[in-house]
Amino acid sequence: MICLYVHIPFCRERCPYCDFFLVTKAGFVERFFEALAVETASKTSLFAGRSIKAIHFGGGTPSLVSPSFIGAWLLQISGLAQISSETEITLEANPEDLSPASLDALKAVGVNRLSIGVQSIADRKLRALGRAHSAADARRVVSEALERFRSVSVDLMCGAEGETLAEWEGDLGSSLGLRPQHVSVYMLTLEEKTRLWRDVRKGLRRLPGEEAQAAMYRMATELLCGAGYRHYEISNFALEGHHSRYNLASWMREPYLGFGPAAHSFLLSGETEMRFSNASSLTKYLADPAGAVDFRETLTGEQRFDEEVFLSLRIRKPLSVGFLRKGHKLGHRHLDSVLVTLQEKGWIGVESGEVTLTEAGFLFADLVAAELLSE
């Protein structure tokens, strides 16, 4: 089994907080899909004949391109590998791009899961985030998607300028009222060189502090878990059976193959594990879709250990103490004292020789990982 990822790098305009790789040149869409077909053909030996667990169209804004491009690429893949009714096919979408007709068209070409960048169902907050859609757009689109797709995910963001805990509670309540099968909750983070980052540095805008953001995160966990969602990853909540198969596979370190500029891949060959990334440049990608690579590396034993610890914590997968002892760089005694300290803080539990992050530990997963890795 393998998962496939396609990075569709087009957006109408860059949101003030976003540092993803993207371009705002919609005129290049057709050439991009021609290049994608070339890249796909060049990588056939890496997935031909294999069963495809999940396909994820991310970006950028995949809903900006015509569903016919998505359908043509899916047709190319289905001629080379096994896509079944069990294959999760997710497309990331923005509310302003979706209508009943476009939703029908996406479904007709094979998309069966929609991940909608709602961010908020409050007009004031959407304006503060610099988003193009309204709360009414978000409500309408989520309802229309739920009528058509077996699984709909909603992205929500907390920590916008001027946001209070009460506003966030209202946002969560409105979203839960729509009953999507999956909710992702992200805290607004200041990424360097973004417009928001510059405005905050100049004192033109102020965001809620860390404590306020942590309170919002805790509120999201409480309300979503109380409404029957399982908190299966730091930022992700799902009703039973509706977790993202693509994301979970990447956190479980299962193989995935990325297409498009800036797309990452993780492949296994016997005992060897390899990661590589396509060039983060549309110009380079269009010039050489099969060969424009930013980096390619075979993972060392230390990198594999670090990844296993870091990713397992994200999904609260238990880690055996024996495994941690083999990789911890400062010796058994140091690890044992780290485990005691982390338990006292309530961030991990240790039972039957296995270490698991606690619900309270989710907020501190990076710190826990750093301690376990002795960094």
Binding mask 53-92 for ligand SF4 (x = CB under 6 A): ------xxx-------------------------------
Which residue in 14, 258, 19 sits closest to 132, CA to CA? 14
Please report the sign of the dihedral spanned by the C-alpha atoms of residue 316, residue 318, residue 321, residue 327.
negative
Place of tokens 């950028």: 60
Binding status of residue 127 toward ligand SF4 by CB under 6 A? no
Among 87, 94, 278, 312, binds ligand SF4 (CB under 6 A): 94
Which residue in 96, 101, 222, 247 sits closest to 168, CA to CA? 222
Among 4, 8, 22, 172, binds ligand SF4 (CB under 6 A): 22
Which residue in 102, 95, 99 sits closest to 121, CA to CA? 95
Binding status of residue 18 toward ligand SF4 by CB under 6 A? yes
State how far the Cα of 334 lies from the Cα of 348, in Å rounded to an integer: 16
Task: Return the range that interacts with ligand SF4 (CB under 6 A); candidates 9-17, 71-79, 225-233, 311-319.
Answer: 9-17
Judged by CB under 6 A, how many residues of this single chain contact ligand SF4?
11
Structure tokens at 353: 């020789």
CB of 119 to ligand SF4, least distance (A): 8
State how far the Cα of 95 lies from the Cα of 301, in Å rounded to an integer: 43
Which of helix, strand or coil describes residue 17? coil
CB of 60 to ligand SF4, least distance (A): 5
Task: Report whether 138 contacts 125 (CB < 8 A).
Answer: no
Binding status of residue 195 toward ligand SF4 by CB under 6 A? no
Binding status of residue 255 toward ligand SF4 by CB under 6 A? no
Structure tokens at 240: 């039973």
Binding status of residue 276 toward ligand SF4 by CB under 6 A? no
CB of 276 to ligand SF4, least distance (A): 22
State how far the Cα of 306 lies from the Cα of 328, in Å rounded to an integer: 9
State how far the Cα of 301 lies from the Cα of 281, in Å rounded to an integer: 31
Binding status of residue 114 toward ligand SF4 by CB under 6 A? no
Task: Return the range that interacts with ligand SF4 (CB under 6 A); candidates 13-21, 199-207, 231-239, 284-292.
Answer: 13-21
CB of 17 to ligand SF4, least distance (A): 7
Which residues bind to ligand SF4, rule: CB under 6 A? 11, 14-15, 18, 20, 22, 59-61, 94, 117
